[in-house]
Every structure is written in C-alpha cells, then in structure tokens.
Amino acid sequence: MKRPLENIESVFDAFKELKVLIIGDVMIDSYIYGSVKRISPEAPVPVLNVGRREQRLGGAANVALNIQALGATPILCAVVGDDDEGEAFKELLKKRGIASRGILKCDNRVTTVKNRIISGSQQMMRIDSETEAPLTSLEEKTLIQLIRQLIDEVDLVIFEDYDKGCLNERIIKDAIDYSKEKGIHTAVDPKKRNFNAYHRCSLFKPNLKELKEGLKIEFDVTISVELRDAVVQLHQSLGFDKALITLSEHGVYIFDQEEGDLRIPAHRRAIADVSGAGDTVISIAGLCLVLGMKDRFIAALANLGGGIVCEYLGVVPIDKERLMAEATENNIFELHE
C-alpha cells in the first residue's frame, strides 16, 4: 500500500520507490576548455590552448541522470555505435551507477558525440559526430524485444527523442501499447520527426517551438485562448491524457481535457544556459504523474526544476536539495492539497 503524501519531503521519499525506463537518443557531451591568446599563422582562426577536457552523459542519458538525482532508479534503453565512443559512453554510465543492460550496440552506426570548444565562458565552436539514419529491421526488432523486457520492471516509461534515429513510429507504438497493457504511464519529450507518432501517451511535453512546428501553425502565446486552442488541436490529433508545454520565459502550461488547464508563470532567474531544462521538466513531471499528483502541483514543481538548471552553465541534472528547498519556500505542496 502506498504511503500517504503529507508534505514535499514525502513526495521525494516516494520518488525513491520508483523505477523509470528512459528510451531515446543518447550522446556524449564533450567539453574542451582553454584560453585563446593568439591567432593561428596557418589561417585566420584563434588557437585554443587546452586546459582541461570533460565528458558528460547527454541526450536521453541526461534524463536518466535527472531521474537518479531525484532519487528514483533509471534504466536507460538506447542504441550506440560499436566504437570507442560507445565504450566510453558505457563507462560514463558505470561511473554514475546507471545500468547499461538496455544499451544496444549497432555496428553500422556511430555513437553521437557533441564536442564543444570553450574559451573562458564563450563557446567558440561545436563539432558533432553522429548519424540520423533509421535503424535496420533487425536492430528495430531487437530493440522492441529489449524494451518489452524492461517495461515489465518499471513504473514509468519516458521517451526522450532527439531525432537521431533510435525511435520510429513502430517502436513508439509498440512501447506505448505494451505500457498501456501493463498499466504503466508514458511521458514524452518529442522532436519534429516523430512528433505525431505518440498516440495515447499519458503525458506529452513539447516546448513552444516544437508545438508550433508540430501543428504547423503560428499563434500568440501571450493570448491564453490561442494557446489553449492549439493544445486542444494537438489533443484531438494524439489523444494524450495530459500535455505540459514549456514556454521559456512565459513559464509552463498544463492541459487535461477533464481537469482543465493552467498556466504557471516563470520564476525570475539569472539564466546561464537553457540546455537540458526540458530533461529536468520531463523527469519531474513523469515521477509526479506516477504518484498521482494534481496537475497544478506537477506543473509548478516541474517549472521550478526547469528554471533551477538554467542557472548553471552546460547540461546538468537537477540538484534535489535545492529543488526541495525552493519548493518548500514557494509552498508548492499546497497545490496538491
């Protein structure tokens, strides 16, 4: 029997009992830090004197880090190349205590790596190594079988789509249908290619740009009726249970056909980097969904967490202690009572 949720601390305690499957595109976020003191004699380009290098888990793996940081147990399911970078990715998982049994190696792919060249606090260049090719029929079949095995173990499935080829309509449909058979919630952070494939998911979380591109419409987000009409149109197409739209400086908007809709304004922040904020939002919202939290609580806590990570440079998971402190300060739990 589930313990009653009496305060914000009990919510985070309940997170510890949850296990989450994250399916999607993974990558290594690589950083090369240094300083520039001269221009190359070979070409009119700056010469970076390298000070240090760093590799971080990125893409769907950052969602796994957020789930872990919130206290739940992540299981990551994705494809990587049969290459040195694929081994490096699995080693990064090991260092963070995240299982790699859901990682499928494919010999005809390369592992996605985003290399960022940084001088001081200024990013000078990004060099990407990746493929966006779809999976072969054998890879697709193997991945579907693996997903089904892992779904049997979890309380929540999160789809983290970066349009790199791990997800397609057949994989998405099979995973959502199988999750529904098992009574397991599905939360989606979509991208353009598969935007309209997530039929009947529990929670659909695009950002404002993705919403407009997915529906192929323009509207004024500051006009509430226009935003609601767009999300209603989206609901008619996908039939999800809830939608949570991140609106950048305009906060977040949550929609449920039966419970209604609500906009939560953004908190004032010293924004350093918005990268990875969506990963934090989907992680918090998904866990709250499993616990049966009210929509206004889900939106408020996810909005708070997404704002916090924007104050840090680079892609970082949420700081649970800071989130709990700010949730207490802002009386977030009262929104569930």
**Mind telling me the catalytic residues?**
279
* Pairing mode, strands 203-204 and 185-189: parallel
Task: Give buried/exposed letters for 207-239 (b at 16+ CB in 10 A, else e).
Answer: bbebbeebbeeebebeeeeebbebbeebbeebe
Cα(133)–Cα(218) distance, integer angstroms: 30
Cα distances (Å, whole numbers) of residue 282 to 16, 113, 139, 196, 299: 17, 23, 27, 18, 10
- Tokens representing residue 241 in the block: 């249970």
Q: What is the CA radius of gyration of the chain?
A: 20
Under 8 Å between Cβ of 57 and 65: yes
Say which residues have a Cβ less than 8 Å from residue 11's Cβ, sequence separation at least 6.
5, 288, 291, 293, 333
